[in-house]
Amino acid sequence: MSLLKAYLKDFWRYRYLLYNLISRDFKLKYRRSVLGVVWSVLNPLLMNVVMVAVFSTILDMRSAGIENFSVYLIIGQLLFNFFNEGTSTAMSSVLAAAPLIKKVYIPKYIFPLEKVCFSLVNCVFSFIALVIVMLFTGAPVHLTIPLALYPLLTLFVFTLGVGLCLSAATVFFRDIMHLWGVFITALMYFSAIFYDPVQMGGAAGEILRRFIGFNPLYWYIKGFRMAVLDGQLLDFNTLWVCAACALVALAVGLVVFRSQQDKFILHI
């Protein structure tokens, strides 16, 4: 508890730095490309069109029980992208900040935190793509849409926790970056992004249904879809799994990061 308090105090003191680092990333990312923010929207949108075209020709999504495959798919895409970008950039953030860390005292957790925040900003921008797809496919607007904030925010906390662990580990072992790249590609296929395990038949569906519950990302994506696509209230299981995964990841992340942060300077 006192650990959390110390973190919050530091956080308050350096909130402007956090803000400035995010706006720096933002300027550097968007200043030079003519289309600017438009890319954040266009990229998932084009991706979505391609994937819908591919999967709809191979499989009949409607008979597989997914009513609006475009929206179903893009929600999975966007949330998974957020997790992917957040953890990957957070992972190398401490190393990238080496020139700064060597010169002044700054609470070091600010670097992974900044990257995850910046990914969230990007993710929120890319929700424009979601809106476009919803309008285009004539998806109904449900009153439950604001509930999607819950899976989004818990996913943010979860990503932060994972990012803290990874960034601390990467300082000591650089090759974790490559391992994580492989892991996350594998994880993508087990996050129910372009299929619905509940509706899936056959032995593969059987196995997926049994194991996919162990993937936290599945629950965040599922919760988001319930609120936005199905117009349902979040069920009890989704609620607690989202919160529990987030809190456990954050707690582990903070403890790992804190125990290692004084040694960073000797390894970067």
Partner 1 sequence: MENSKMIEVNHVSMRFNLSKEKHESLKEYLLAAVKGKLQFDEFYALRDVSLEVEKGDFYGLVGLNGSGKSTLLKVIAGVYKPSAGSVTVRGSIAPLIELGAGFDMDLTARENIYLNGTVLGLTPRYISEKFDEIVDFSELRDFLDVPLKNYSSGMVSRIAFAIATITKPDVLIADEILSVGDFLFQEKCEKRMKELMAGGTTVLLVSHSIEQVERMCNKVTWLERGRVRMAGDVRTVCEAYKALDQGTEAGT
Where b means 16+ CB within 10 Å and e means fewer, 230-264 reads eeeebeeebbebbeebbeebbeebbebbbebbeeb
Q: Is 103 in the site for partner 1 (CB under 8 A)?
A: yes
The rounded distance, in Å, linking the Cα atoms of 60 and 239 is: 31
Contact 121, 29 (CB under 8 A): no
The rounded distance, in Å, linking the Cα atoms of 139 and 34 is: 31
Among residues 5 and 103, whose Cβ is nearest to partner 1? Answer: 103
Q: Is 9 in the site for partner 1 (CB under 8 A)?
A: no
Provide the 3-class DSSP secondary structure of residue 83.
helix
Among residues 25 and 85, whose Cβ is nearest to partner 1? Answer: 25
Positions 24 through 53 that interact with partner 1 (CB under 8 A): 24, 27-28
CB of 184 to partner 1, least distance (A): 17
Stretch that binds partner 1, among 8-16, 116-124, 235-243, 249-257 (CB under 8 A): 8-16
The rounded distance, in Å, linking the Cα atoms of 212 and 222 is: 11
Provide the 3-class DSSP secondary structure of residue 215.
coil
- 107-110, long-range: CB < 8 A, 24+ apart: 107/7, 107/10, 107/11, 107/14, 108/257, 108/261, 108/264, 109/7, 109/10, 109/164, 109/254, 109/257, 109/261, 110/14, 110/17, 110/18, 110/21
Stretch that binds partner 1, among 82-90, 131-139, 167-175, 219-227 (CB under 8 A): 167-175
Stretch that binds partner 1, among 20-28, 80-88, 151-159, 252-260 (CB under 8 A): 20-28
Q: Is 106 in the site for partner 1 (CB under 8 A)?
A: yes
Q: Is 229 in the site for partner 1 (CB under 8 A)?
A: no
DSSP symbol at 66: -
Stretch that binds partner 1, among 18-26, 39-47, 72-80, 126-134 (CB under 8 A): 18-26
Q: Is 21 in the site for partner 1 (CB under 8 A)?
A: yes
Instruction: Assign 3-class secondary structure to 193-207.
Output: CCCCCCCCCHHHHHH
* Contact residue for partner 1 among 138, 175, 182, 214 (CB under 8 A): 175
* Contact residue for partner 1 among 16, 143, 201, 203 (CB under 8 A): 16
Stretch that binds partner 1, among 21-29, 139-147, 204-212, 246-254 (CB under 8 A): 21-29
Q: Is 211 in the site for partner 1 (CB under 8 A)?
A: no
- List the one residue out of 162, 157, 167, 156 whose CA is nearest residue 109: 167
Say how many residues touch partner 1, by CB under 8 A.
26
CB of 159 to partner 1, least distance (A): 23
* Contact residue for partner 1 among 17, 54, 149, 248 (CB under 8 A): 17
Residues near partner 1, by CB under 8 A = 13-14, 16-17, 19-21, 24, 27-28, 99-106, 173-176, 262, 265-267
